[in-house]
Structure 1
Amino acid sequence: MVVSLSQIFGGAGLAAGITVGALLAQQMLGTDAYAGVPSALFTLGSAGAAFIVGRLSQHYGRRTGLSAGFIVGGLGAIGVVMAAMMNSVILLFASLLIYGAGTATNLQARYAGTDLATNKQRAKAISTTMVMTTFGAVAGPNLVEIMGKFAVSIGVPSLAGPFILSATAFILAGLVLFIMLRPDPLEIAKRIEAYKEKSASETNTLSIHPTNNKRGLAVGATVMVLTQIVMVAIMTMTPVHMKHHGHGLTEVGIVIGFHVGSMYLPSLVTGILVDKIGRTAMSIASGITLLLAGLLAAFAPSDSMALLIIALSLLGLGWNFGLISGTAQ
């Protein structure tokens, strides 16, 4: 429950980077050529942070690792706001790297949700954690214009407004975990495992350990990497594409809101499907859905909000299928 609550705040924190990161870089650099750099940077920062948060979580517990990751991500968002105020591209890029820690932590929280799940219930446990992200992740993009007006009222550039929301949301997520995640789920899982091993030895039966899953690790990681490449490539350029064709921030927020909702809301059903029909089948379904999303995004008329919403919703759904099936692998 505590992890799920943190995911609501974490989902809201994702909004800025997805919705206005590319537009902010475009405005500060005066060109579209580097509009994809913000997404690349916070994805790179997310990768580095994932390793550090993972190490902290494994050695000191989920509470320490996840709360630290969210708070660092919040500090990165504050840095982006300062960069916009100072018109400093170097500070912007450095802050986006740090901001990626919040994204990484939001995704890694799904593993904390599996600590107390059986092998056959893991996908469902992952999806339960992820579905809670929906509430914040859908609200975030739709608050872009409101946060922009708020930012202007306090003397901050409008496109930095959503990062104020991100900073607040990520830091709140970290505080919720640090204060409320007691006892740590990893510690409970270790105690349960130790008890099972002791019971097995007392009854002279063999303890059952997880098998070496190198093949599953390789397949699952590949599925998640390919899924992420397709999703980020299309999602990053959508706000820029829409702005070029006369759509305002409100319309951008609506499309991205549908997209992010499709990334997380279907999780509960996806988890059940992965457990029922198999991880490989759902990985294939992910590929097909992403292909359809890409084709529709490419050929949809630029002034058609409806088709853009459908394309980005399919993109989010395909990502959802790939992430949960790949994680379960």
Structure 2
Amino acid sequence: MTYPQGRLVGSLAGVQVVGGVGNGAGLAIGALLVKDVSGSSGWAGMATVMLTVGAALATVPLARWAVRAGRRPALTTGWWIGAVGAVVAILGADLDSLPVVLLGLVLFGASTAANLQSRFAATDRAEPRKVARSLSVVVWATTVGAVAGPNLTQPGARVADALGIPHLAGLLVFSSVAFALAGLMTFVLVRPDPLAREQGVARPPRVSPWPHLRGTALTAIVAIAASHAVMVSVMALTPVHMQDHGADLELIGLTISLHIAGMFALSPVFGWLSDALGPAVVVVAGQVTLVVSTVVAGTAGHSEPRIMVGLVLLGIGWSMSVIAAAAMLTTAVTPQVRPAVQGVADLAMNVAGATGGLLAGLVVAWRDFGTLNAAAAVLTIPVVALVVAGSRAAAAASPDTETAGRL
């Protein structure tokens, strides 16, 4: 029987539209909520830290569960834990309790793990020459919800008034509902499961990914992690930077929406380019774009239009790098070990994001937003070095320059 790859990608894309609303709302309001409850801008970066710590904690267990039981139950659980987390964060805001808010954001982060693993689920049955495109369609679908989420600040405030909770927590109501619905959609629509036993995919109970973390696979993981660290560190403190310079919530929400659009809207283009030109080329182009974004945002000062441009470029650079590197990783390892290695990649991605978010708050408290951008740009250097070294090694090993260029 021919596996319904188109139906799988369509189902996952639909889930991403809904789940993206919740993730977009959390990105827009998390730092401001923590700042409001803690009373300090220095704590604001902890919102992204907790979100990414939660994603990191959920990533490997969900990946292992996917190997044993299939993608559907693992992804469903991730979305539903995220829904619970949003409710806990709302409770923390209402109690004016920073520990409870941070706990809620950790649980909220499981939705990010589900979001990330959905893109890999799209590649489980994809043809090798269409891996990046399948992955990128699911990433692209996040655009609709993720762009809409941050712009729900005013409806969120009205919901907050109706429920008698702080205004900033109103957006998290939308997050909770969106995640609960995304989990239900996953449970109902992702059938047959792409990793189901009857489909013939070998699913050993325990597969160690560590012996496979070398060469191209290692380069891909470093590219994913470093690119995410650059994006998260700059994005996490942008709402605080804008608010400190007098921007209102609507403008901050619009800026984050444009940033998220940059992250996802052009995903199919970058997937096609990665399949056509090779992922190495697109990863390097993404690193260059990230550097340009930090220059624009870091020198913007009070200019809100320049901040917006910098954040859009930041999202585009992230998209190019992560999509191409994820495709690189998927084709670098065998199907038997692939879910476990992908889990390690997502773990590295989230740990890097958590570290970047934590250090971002400290750097801004110590110096300023420009210094943060300069420090983030440095993280692109090892990525470019590894990709270039890998390309040269491939070229030396094979006279087929096209194959070498594709790593």
Q: Which residue of 1 aligns with 2:304?
A: 305
CA contact 2:69–2:196 (8 Å) conserved in 1:
no
Deviation string 1:26-62 (CA, Å, 9 cap, x unpaired) is: 1111111111001011101111111111111111111
Which amino acid in the other structure matches residue 263 of structure 2? M
> Residue 103 of structure 2 is aligned with which of 61, 83, 94?
94
1:17 is displaced (CA, Å) by 2.4
Hey, which bits of structure 1, 4+ residues long, moved more than 4 A?
none
Q: Which residue of 1 aligns with 2:374?
A: none
CA contact 2:25–2:152 (8 Å) conserved in 1:
no
Change (3 A) 1:193 1:31: closer
Q: Which residue of 1 aligns with 2:75?
A: 66
TM-score (norm 2): 0.74
Q: Which residue of 2 aligns with 1:183?
A: 192
Which amino acid in the other structure matches residue 225 of structure 1? A
CA contact 1:71–1:174 (8 Å) conserved in 2:
yes
More displaced stretch, 66-75 vs 51-60: 51-60
Q: Which residue of 2 aligns with 1:253?
A: 253
Which amino acid in the other structure matches residue 138 of structure 1? V
SS in 1 for 2:43: coil
Q: Which residue of 2 aligns with 1:324?
A: 323
Gaps of 5+ in 2: 1-9, 204-211, 329-407
1:188 is displaced (CA, Å) by 7.7
Q: Which residue of 2 aligns with 1:232?
A: 232
CA–CA separation in structure 2 for the residues paired with 1:136 and 1:188 = 32
Change (3 A) 1:233 1:213: closer
Deviation string 1:111-130 (CA, Å, 9 cap, x unpaired) is: 11111211121001100111
> Residue 172 of structure 2 is aligned with which of 159, 163, 175?
163
More displaced stretch, 139-148 vs 257-266: 139-148
CA contact 1:115–1:189 (8 Å) conserved in 2:
no
Deviation string 1:70-107 (CA, Å, 9 cap, x unpaired) is: 00011101110011111111111111111100011111
CA–CA separation in structure 2 for the residues paired with 1:58 and 1:190 = 13
Q: Which residue of 2 aligns with 1:272?
A: 272
Which amino acid in the other structure matches residue 62 of structure 2? V
Which amino acid in the other structure matches residue 175 of structure 1? L
Which amino acid in the other structure matches residue 107 of structure 2? I
> Residue 56 of structure 1 is aligned with which of 61, 65, 73?
65
1:192 is displaced (CA, Å) by 7.4
1:189 is displaced (CA, Å) by 8.6
Q: Which residue of 2 aligns with 1:82?
A: 91
1:293 correspondence with 2:302: no
Change (3 A) 1:28 1:193: closer
1:243 is displaced (CA, Å) by 0.6
CA–CA separation in structure 1 for the residues paired with 2:198 and 2:134 = 14
> Residue 26 of structure 1 is aligned with which of 22, 25, 35?
35
CA–CA separation in structure 1 for the residues paired with 2:197 and 2:70 = 10
CA–CA separation in structure 2 for the residues paired with 1:324 and 1:46 = 18
Aligned length: 311
1:237 is displaced (CA, Å) by 0.5
Deviation string 1:260-282 (CA, Å, 9 cap, x unpaired) is: 01101110000000111111111
Which amino acid in the other structure matches residue 44 of structure 1? V
Q: What RMSD over aligned residues (CA atoms) do the two structures have, in Å?
A: 1.6
Q: Which residue of 2 aligns with 1:215?
A: 215
CA contact 1:263–1:317 (8 Å) conserved in 2:
yes
1:300 is displaced (CA, Å) by 1.2
CA–CA separation in structure 1 for the residues paired with 2:160 and 2:295 = 37
Which amino acid in the other structure matches residue 61 of structure 1? G
CA contact 1:57–1:65 (8 Å) conserved in 2:
yes
Q: Which residue of 2 aligns with 1:4?
A: 13
Which amino acid in the other structure matches residue 262 of structure 1? G
Deviation string 1:149-204 (CA, Å, 9 cap, x unpaired) is: 2212220101011111111111100000112222112228943789xxxxxxxxxx
Which amino acid in the other structure matches residue 316 of structure 2? L
Gaps of 5+ in 1: 195-211
1:213 is displaced (CA, Å) by 7.3
CA–CA separation in structure 2 for the residues paired with 1:154 and 1:116 = 45
SS in 1 for 2:261: helix
1:153 correspondence with 2:152: no
CA–CA separation in structure 2 for the residues paired with 1:5 and 1:168 = 15
SS in 1 for 2:26: helix
Q: Which residue of 2 aligns with 1:201?
A: none
Change (3 A) 1:188 1:142: farther
